[in-house]
Structure 1
Amino acid sequence: MSITAAMVKELRELSGAGMMDCKKALAETDGNMEAAVDWLRAKGISKADKKAGRTAAEGLVGVAADGNKAVVVEINSETDFVARNDEFQKLVSGIASVALGTDGSVDAVAAANYPATGKSVADTIKDAIGTIGENLTLRRSAGLSVDEGVVASYIHNGVADGLGKLGVLVALKSSGNKDALNAFGRQVAMHVAATSPLAVKPEDVDQVAAERERSIFIEQARESGKPDNIIEKMVEGRMRKFFEEVALLSQAFVINPDLTVAAAAKEAEKDVGAPVEIVGFARLLVGEGVEKEESDFAAEVAAAAKG
């Protein structure tokens, strides 16, 4: 496969590695961008884990909660100017409230009736595009519920009640005091906002992601030239650390790093007055995973001024 300058440039932006290393990585992986990132990581040339540096879509995340159920929705706009617009914020809040009556999936939210317009959420967004003058999309949504307990929520960088750039839900199962449970749940939600875990428990981590990490660790270990039996122990040690770092319950609790999140939940039982089980979480960061063309800020302002 022919390796183009554009491919090398993209890999450099993703990995921070040098041009020649990027070119070699692409040649070694037949131009597969993700495999090339892994190749660079395995060689110790790149520490890029994901394309997080390329996220730049604008918009807002909205959260709505009602005791043992909560939802979070992400509505994207083209510019941050619109994200600060009162009408747009009202729309996101309204959609979050509507989403609370669904299972939280994007399809269900899009099809739900928006009371203020008497139309579906999808059609209401289409109408708003004409009014606001920018493309708007319902990109992601998630809902959590428990039979007994609470679903706590947290908004980071909030611009209004229930609105911000990052929204987190945490579902806790317990028969204990709801106020104490919600207070602890909010702390866990703040933790999730800060650490972005992949799953609640190590065994829940996506196997594809885990095997990808294992492959990289094996390649890195082989670079050391050590025998296979030592390499196996090295890799198993690295994988244990990997699961500790990405599974919520085994992470060091940001509120009190001396405790894991699991241990903090155990401590919280004293205030809650009953066993506490963290059963799920959802974390939506505006624009995460979306690429956006670099723009000239002055030109963007000028374009906005022209309306």
Structure 2
Amino acid sequence: MDRTALGGIRLPWRAPAGRPSPEEPPAERPRRPFWKELPVLVVIALLLALLIKTFFVQAFSIPSASMENTLRIGDRVLVDKLTPTFGSEPSRGEVVVFHDPGDWLRAEQQHRGSGNAFLRGLQDVFSTVGLAPSADEKDLIKRVIAVGGDTVSCHGTGPVYVNGKALDEPYLYPGSTPCGDRNFGPLTVPAHSLWVLGDNRQNSGDSRYNMAGPGGGFVPESKVIGRAITVAWPVTHWKTLPIPDTFSQPGISDRAATLAGSHPVLASLAGAAPLTLLRRRWRLRSARRGAGRKSR
């Protein structure tokens, strides 16, 4: 009850200290205006975008026709950066983005337009947090054809051979030949390196065109930013970028002999193993013969 009777006089009931009276509801906390919360929300969104770009996924813009028709000029692709971060090596058939390994972009004049300076600055800000491609991007995007230890070659009208297996490449640009206009190989890809080609072989400055430069046309795995997993924009071009079936054919991963031949340590181990086994058998036979003579 909310009243107390004392000597016929009804006294008003008072709530204990710290507790609101049922007749007096607690005052509502005033809400902050939206315009005051907006800067905080923007900062949180930018921090989350920066975190995602740094460790998980980043958007890249396609600047050239070297990967047509798989990727077209102006397409925005999402690149998985998490897998390389945890040490997973790129696989044959993946489309990867990588830093220029040795002035591969020397033939392409990359400069900023003379547009609105404010808009260019705004693009730089958004590119920093991964919300837009950079206006000064100098990264490349190609398809991994061979990895460390593989033997790769292509002559004439093709096809490309990896470890003696011919590739069936339905993703090539219509009218493009597997070798393009450059024969190569047989070449052995160094450990922790990649041999990359564009899907538009007649219009791609890839490993074939950089064999005389630093690195011999090979891309160090340390230069790889990540694997392109999907085309996100424009919506009409949306698609995933899976590994083609030709890179899963039996025998294409057989590179043990190549690895042994290209690495002195592995070659030494491969040569020493048979000798060790023969020596062990000879000792066992000698021991058995000695035991037989003693028993006589």
Per the normalisation by structure 2, the TM-score is 0.21
* More helix as a share of residues: 1
Per the normalisation by structure 1, the TM-score is 0.20
Which has the higher Rg, Structure 1 or Structure 2?
2
